[in-house]
Structure 1
Amino acid sequence: MNSLTPLKLILVLFACGLCGALGGYYAASFSPIPAQIAVVDVSALVMKAVEKNATQTEDDAKALTARVKATTDKLVQRGIVVLDAQSVLNAPEEAYVSIE
């Protein structure tokens, strides 16, 4: 009968833990890190709204601002930094937030 002594068991568990840690490190080193920054193009939103309705009222502007704030507040609660597109030099396409 082949039994594991406590020392052999500890060595096997240590080897398994080491292999798991190395495998996790290897997998993490090749995984892309998602951007923690979201970009909102407020100017484009305003221009889009003005194009749709040339008689843009102050209430419409306030409604648009409220929608932008509601959308960005959800992102901020998840720990994402939100920037205006005018201050971003370059960002991946998925960093831009669409506001409906």
Structure 2
Amino acid sequence: MNPLSPVKLVMLLLSCGFCGALGGYYAAAFSPVPAQIAVVDVQTLVKKAVENNQAQTEDDAKALMTKIKSATQPLIEQGIVIFDAQSVLHAPEEAYVNIE
């Protein structure tokens, strides 16, 4: 077996590093960046809750807020900012949080 000379080894390592950097640049340049915000439509959630139960109580409202907080907590831990839908002028559909 013919061992690599130091010059060939350095050239091989440099070319591998260059190819890795080029691949990383390509992946970063052409990969879509997900929205760093999430939107919760609290007004719609409250309307749905009232439609389902006309005798809406304070406990039901607290339960709904607890449900919203539990659904958004993983997003907050990822560093995503949560907005109420009434504060947002326009956002992509995937930015809205589905709470069921």
Provide the TM-score with structure 1 as the length reference: 0.91
- Shift of the alpha carbon at 1:72? 1.7
Gaps of 5+ in 1: none
1:34-56 alpha-carbon deviations (Å, 9 max, x no partner): 11211100001001111111111
- The percent identity for this pair of structures is 68
Corresponding residue number in structure 2 for 1:89: 89
Question: Where in structure 2 are the equivalents of 1:50-69 lying within 5 Å?
Answer: 50-69=50-69
2:25 counterpart of 1:25? yes
Aligned-pair RMSD on alpha carbons? 1.4
Corresponding residue number in structure 1 for 2:9: 9
Corresponding residue number in structure 2 for 1:48: 48
Question: Where in structure 1 do 4 or more consecutive aligned residues deviate above 2 Å?
Answer: none
Give the number of aligned pairs.
100
Gaps of 5+ in 2: none
- Shift of the alpha carbon at 1:16? 1.1
Provide the TM-score with structure 2 as the length reference: 0.91
